[in-house]
Amino acid sequence: MTDLTISQVKTTLLDVPLFRPHGFATYTATEQPILLVEVVLEGGVSGFGEGVVPGGPWWGGESAETMKVIIDGHLAPIMIGREVNQLVGILADFERSVANMRFAKAAVDVAMHDAWARALGLQVRDLLGGCYREEVDVTWALGVLPLEEAVAEIEERIAEYGHTSFKLKMGSGDPAVDTERIEQLAGALGGKVGLRIDVNARWDRMTALKYLPRLAEAGIELFEQPTPAHDLATLREIVTRIGVPVMADESVASPADALAVAHTQAADVIALKTTKLGGLQESTKVAAIAEAAGLACHGATSLEGPFGTAASLHFACATPAVNYGSELFGPMLLRESYTTEDLVYKDGVVQLPQGPGLGLDPDWDKVKAFTRD
- Nearest-Å Rg of the Cα atoms of the chain is 20
Torsion over CA: 355, 333, 271, 55 (sign): positive
Query: Which secondary-structure segment (H or E) carries 373?
Result: none
**Active-site residue numbers?**
169, 327
Calpha distance 101→151 (Å, rounded): 38
Which residues make beta-bridge pairs with 35? 13, 51
DSSP 335: S
Half-sphere exposure of 264 (CA within 13 A, CB side): 21
* Nearest one of 95, 126, 91, 125 to 109, comparing CA atoms: 91
- Dihedral-angle region of residue 32 (phi above 0 means left; psi in -120 to 50 means alpha; beta otherwise): beta
Q: Write the DSSP string, 64-128.
A: HHHHHHHIIIIIHHHHTTSBGGGHHHHHHHHHHHS-S-HHHHHHHHHHHHHHHHHHHT-BHHHHT
195 CB burial (10 A radius; 0-12, 13-18, 19+): buried
Q: Are strands 246-248 and 344-346 parallel, antiparallel or unpaired?
A: unpaired
Q: Write the DSSP string, 217-280.
A: HTT---EE--S-TT-HHHHHHHHHHH-S-EEESTT-SSHHHHHHHHHHT--SEEEE-TTTTTSH
Query: Under a CB-based contact definition with an 8 Å cutoff, are residues 372 and 11 in contact?
Result: no
To the nearest 5 percent, what fractions of the chain are helix, strand and coil? 45, 20, 35
Helices (H), 330-363: 330-333
* Nearest one of 38, 41, 40 to 51, comparing CA atoms: 38
* Nearest one of 307, 299, 373, 359 to 337, comparing CA atoms: 307
